[in-house]
Chain A
Amino acid sequence: MHALRRGTTALTSRTARNALNGRRGLQSASTERFGHLPDSHSPITPKLKFFNSVTEDGGQIPTYRVLDGVGKPIEGAEMPEIDETLARKIYENMVLLPTLDTLLYNVQRQGKISFYMTAYGEEATIIGSAAALASDDEVLGQYRESGVLLWRGFGLDNIMSQCLGNEEDTSGKGKQMPVHFGSPAHHFLTISSPLATQIPQAAGVAFAINRSARRGKNCAAVYFGEGAASEGDFHAGMLFASTIPSPTLFIVRNNGFAISTPAAEQYHGDGIAARGPGYGVWTVRVDGNDVLAVLGAVREARKKCLEEGRGVLVEAMTYRVGHHSTSDDSFAYRSRSEVEDKKRIDNPITRFRLFMESQGWWSKAEEDALRARLKKDVMQAFKRAEGMQRPELQEMFTDVYGGEEPWNIKEQREELAGLLKKYANDWEPWKTELERFKGKGQEWLKKSD
């Protein structure tokens, strides 16, 4: 209780400070000689002028970059602090993503898992931002952010178990589609398919941890694509995190496509970043294929988020190299050559490797060893998970409610059990399927009722 009250006081003073800064800024405006509206601080002007940009010169919001295409710092680059250990961890995780993606993409093609979504091309955005967060910041993802979990040590076994929905699937006991990961131990809220729903939830998570004792140094980071930002929930989330003090870090992966819809058909304005200031939210646009730029920008954004106690927006400009999902053939709406060009010219992994090599932190031999090791690890984890059975069939009815199980759930579980007893040996589709479940449904078949 005491801690809570302290947190509250801090917030109030922060709020007051912000209001003060805002007013001071306005007073310096030249239009101040006409006064300003009493309730909005808007300075009065005799000039009729429309505007359609958040930048003073009418141009687009610039993109923060540190490394050029060949891994050399660009002139005047504000380099984030990074040492060899951190750089190596970042690089290894960046390489792990496509290694994992390639295997799981291929096994989906073989029908061994039902669905998959790769993160090709977005490795720098995901790993760079993951590295910038505290390991106990709460993360709410969309579905292309398994790299954050890997960075935090979720492990390949858990990834595989979820995608296969086997008995070791801690994310959801085989209930959700592949790539819908979740882990309280890794402060990663379970992914759900409906787009953007996690955005206002993130503001709520941030609000709650801000009120919790010992969690005042954490923020909630929420990831989403530029397509999801068109949902009403984006608007709600930005609004709530800015209006109700909630340290929420909005990280938008602007990869140019929402399935087949190019960003140009998604919005007419200057991307997502241009919306931030409309909500009174500090905003930055960053080159999402430059891991150092992402690291630096997200670190600063996180710092600002905690200082202000409100939402901060980071728009990472990247490119979705892979298909939207295994259910999508992206060459139906974009040319193969466009994708190949992107992969060659602007590959986030290559860019960072060249930087690593220029620092003397990486070599060809290490590269070969890493790729071989990761490939082996990934294959080994898959083989292990593939051999496992699904959870017990009765798990299908668990976790609908907490506390006492309602009668309807109980009745329906018993109805299915009765049907299994009656038909499981004679109805081929059920018989084959039962073999895949731990205990083969015997927990129901054996009961005497």
Chain B
Amino acid sequence: MSCFTPHCARRAVALKPRLRFLRRWQSTATPEAAGHLPSVATSKLLRPTRDEALRTPGIRWADEDNSGPVRTIVGGRETRKMNTYQSIRDALSLALMKDDTAVIFGEDVAFGGVFRCTMGLAEEFGRERVFNTPLSEQGIVGFGIGIAAMGHTPIVEIQFADYIYPAFDQIVNEAAKFRYRSGGQYNVGGLTIRCPTMSVGHGGLYHSQSPEGFFMGAPGLKVVIPRSPIQAKGLLLASIRDPNPVIFMEPKILYRSAVEQVPIDDFELPVGRADTLVRGSDLTLLTWGTPLYHCETALHMLASPPPGLDKHVPESLRNAKIELIDLRTILPWDVEAVVESVIRTGRLVIVHEAGLTAGVGAEIAATVQKKCFLKLEAPVRRITGWDTPVPLQYEKFYIPDALRIMDAIVETLKY
């Protein structure tokens, strides 16, 4: 995992991020979504080369077991440039190919999905395996639970995470408790619920939400959120094959904007494990999904503040070594990685898009406070959305953006 860090730092100095973003944006046919983050297009968190992609930490090739087809790989493994929706589509295709009981359904998935994640799958695998459902979220999840209870693999889609609440009862009372209440006789481990999440620049109240915190208190569930195409493919395949029901939340702004080389073979990334992206010793910065890119920008701003901001960043803090962690799995979250990091750094800033009160950050802050009490040198800070609905015209002031994160880092270091 640390392979990324040294040359990332070197490149950060060598390239002017802003310029590189412009060049890249002009060369792509993809239209810019409002709120498109410059830091995503230029991010060093993404892996633009085959070599880096194949050296993704924690990668487990799923075709290297006896159950997979026999294959000979000449000259190593291949990768292809994909954005996030393409890598999700790739994962779904592999899941359907390798498991005859796998089916995909939801609203509008047959023609390819409103975010194109299921493009061509109905044609490739047939309408019996990739199909539209009536417009009913409780129906979609209930139907999926029934299929999973028979040992099959339903991969269901809720069109936006904002619309998952009609299925809350089926998820929390049924899916999460299915194994426990039957004494292990039944389970719905085959169930995976995919849903686009987080803000998109202009989503307003109901196309922007980050409801992961609501599910954090539902033992029996797993909640996974990837940050990039490689992560999305590996974590989705692992989620589909995990023996528990998993809610897989896809940061929708990254569907098109995040692009990297993605291994074309079947691989998994571990559910329940955080990923340390940048090593550091002065402060731990913990987040997941879209805000990772704001965090990255904040780290750049801290190291070399743009004109006007420099007066807010004391010289002495600009060389601070910040450890950046992608939590990846919300439930069960990787306490070991986080606590180990905070014990080393003594400081923690948690960033998430959902509101502050009773958000995921509250749970993590309380646990870290309990397990790292003697090591903490500053209060745990939480930089989050405000305790309001996500407002349309005010989004730039709502999201935990790079400036707010940089400010929290400075304040926490100064404490």
A232 touches B166 (CB 8 A): yes
B179 CB within 8 Å of chain A: yes
Please report the number of residue pairs spanning A and B whose Cβ atoms sit closer than 8 angstroms. Answer: 171
Binds A, one of B13-21, B140-148, B201-209, B306-314: B140-148
Q: How far is the CB of B46 from chain A (nearest CB, A)?
A: 30
Kindly state the separation between the CA atoms of A184 and B183 in the bound complex, as whole angstroms: 12
Task: Give every chain A residue within 8 A of B184 (Cβ-Cβ).
Answer: 173, 398-399
Which residues of A from 386 to 417 have beta carbons under 8 Å from B?
395, 398-404, 406-409
Are A203 and B100 closer than 8 Å at their CB atoms?
A: no
Query: Do A240 and B143 contact each other (CB < 8 Å), given the known contacts A201-B174, A406-B272?
Result: yes
Which A residues are CB-close (under 8 A) to B165? none
B243: interface (CB < 8 Å):
yes
Check if A244 sits within 8 Å of B143, measured CB to CB.
Answer: yes
Take A194-B173, A407-B332 as given contacts and tell me if A200 and B142 are in contact as well, using a CB distance cutoff of 8 Å: yes
Taking a contact as CB atoms under 8 Å apart, the answer to whether B146 and A244 are in contact is no
Residue of A8, A176, A189 near B149 (CB, 8 A) is A189
For window 194-212 of A, CB contacts with B under 8 Å fall at 194, 197, 199-209, 211-212
Instruction: Report B75 CB to chain A, min CB distance, Å.
Output: 32
Interface contact B183-A172, CB-CB below 8 Å: yes
Whether A201 lies near B149 (C-beta < 8 A) is yes
Residues of A within 8 A of B219 (CB): 400-401, 409
Are B138 and A192 closer than 8 Å at their CB atoms?
A: no
User: Once the chains bind, are A206 and B146 in contact (CB under 8 Å)?
Assistant: yes
Q: How far is the CA of A318 from the CA of B350 in the complex (A)?
A: 58
Is the beta-carbon distance between A403 and B243 smaller than 8 angstroms?
A: yes
Contacts of B346 in A (CB 8 A): none
A12 to B185, CA, bound (A): 34
Cβ of A209 and Cβ of B150 under 8 Å apart? Answer: yes
> Once bound together, how far apart are the Cα atoms of A401 and B154, in whole Å?
18
Q: Roughly how many angstroms separate A192 CA and B181 CA in the complex, as a whole number?
A: 8
User: Does A171 belong to the interface (CB within 8 Å)?
Assistant: yes
**Among the listed B147, B179, B272, which residue makes an inter-chain contact with A399, where contact means beta carbons less than 8 Å apart?**
B179
Considering the complex, which residues of chain A in the window 205-256 have a beta carbon less than 8 Å from any beta carbon of chain B? Answer: 205-209, 211-212, 220, 232-233, 235-237, 239-240, 243-244
- Would B143 and A201 count as touching, CB distance under 8 A? yes
CB <8 Å contact, B145 and A204: yes
Contact: A182 with B186, CB < 8 Å?
Answer: yes
Residue tally, chain A, CB below 8 Å to B = 57
* Complex alpha-carbon distance, A406 and B242, angstroms: 13
Quick one: given A243-B134, A401-B179, A406-B332, are A8 and B143 in contact (CB under 8 Å)? no
Please name all residues of chain A whose beta carbon is closer than 8 Å to the beta carbon of B131 when the two chains form the complex: 244
Question: Do residues A200 and B143 form an inter-chain contact, with CB atoms below 8 A?
Answer: yes
CA distance A212 to B142 in the complex (A): 19
Q: Which of A8, A180, A239 contacts B136 (CB 8 A)?
A: A239
Q: Is A74 an interface residue (CB 8 A)?
A: no
Is B180 part of the binding interface, using a Cβ–Cβ cutoff of 8 Å?
yes
Task: Indicate if B133 sits at the interface (CB-CB under 8 A).
Answer: yes
Q: Does B170 contact A (CB under 8 A)?
A: yes
Complex Cα distance A182/B173, Å? 17
Identify which of A170, A201, A211, A407 contacts B335 (C-beta below 8 A).
A407
B149 and A204 form a contact (CB under 8 A): yes
Q: Select from chain B the residue with minimum beta-carbon distance to A399.
A: B184
Interface residue? A16 (CB, 8 A): no
| Interfacial chain B residues near A171, Cβ < 8 Å | 182-183, 185
Q: Which of B143, B169, B336 contacts A194 (CB 8 A)?
A: B169
Given A197-B170, A206-B146, A211-B101, A237–B139 Cβ distance below 8 Å? yes
Q: Mark B113-153, 1 if CB is under 8 A from A, else 0.
A: 00000000000001010010110101101111111111110
Query: Given the complex, which residues of B lie within 8 Å of A398, measured CB to CB?
Result: 184
Shortest distance between the CB of A196 and any CB in chain B (Å): 9
A371 interfacial contact with B, CB 8 Å? no
Q: Are B183 and A202 in contact (CB under 8 A)?
A: no
A residues near B101, Cβ cutoff 8 Å: 208, 211-212
With A192-B174, A197-B169, A407-B332 as known contacts, state yes or no: A205 contacts B183, CB within 8 Å.
Answer: no
Q: How far is the CA of A220 from the CA of B138 in the complex (A)?
A: 19
Choose one: B142, B186, B335; the contact of A204 (CB below 8 Å): B142
A residues 138-177 touching B (CB-CB < 8 Å): 138, 140, 169-173, 175-176
B156-184 vs A: 1/0 string, CB under 8 Å?
00000000001001100110011111111
CB of B187 within 8 Å of the partner chain: yes
Most buried by A among B151, B177, B220: B177
A203-B146, A207-B147, A208-B146 known; A239+B152 contact, CB < 8 A? no
Q: Which of B258-274 contact A (CB under 8 A)?
A: 272
Which one of B142, B147, B180 lies within 8 Å of A199 (CB-CB)? B142
In the complex, A4 has a CB within 8 A of chain B = yes
Q: For A212, what are the chain B residues with a Cβ–Cβ distance below 8 Å?
A: 101, 150, 152
* A407, B152: Cα distance in complex, Å: 28
Chain A residues within 8 Å of B297, by CB: none
Which of B105, B136, B177 contacts A236 (CB under 8 A)? B136
Q: Pull 7 A–B residue pairs with CB atoms less than 8 Å apart, ordered by A.
A: A189-B186, A190-B178, A197-B142, A204-B154, A401-B179, A401-B243, A403-B242
Q: What 9 A-B pairs have minimum CB-CB distances, sorted nearest first?
A: A204-B146, A200-B142, A236-B139, A402-B243, A406-B332, A173-B183, A208-B150, A201-B146, A190-B182
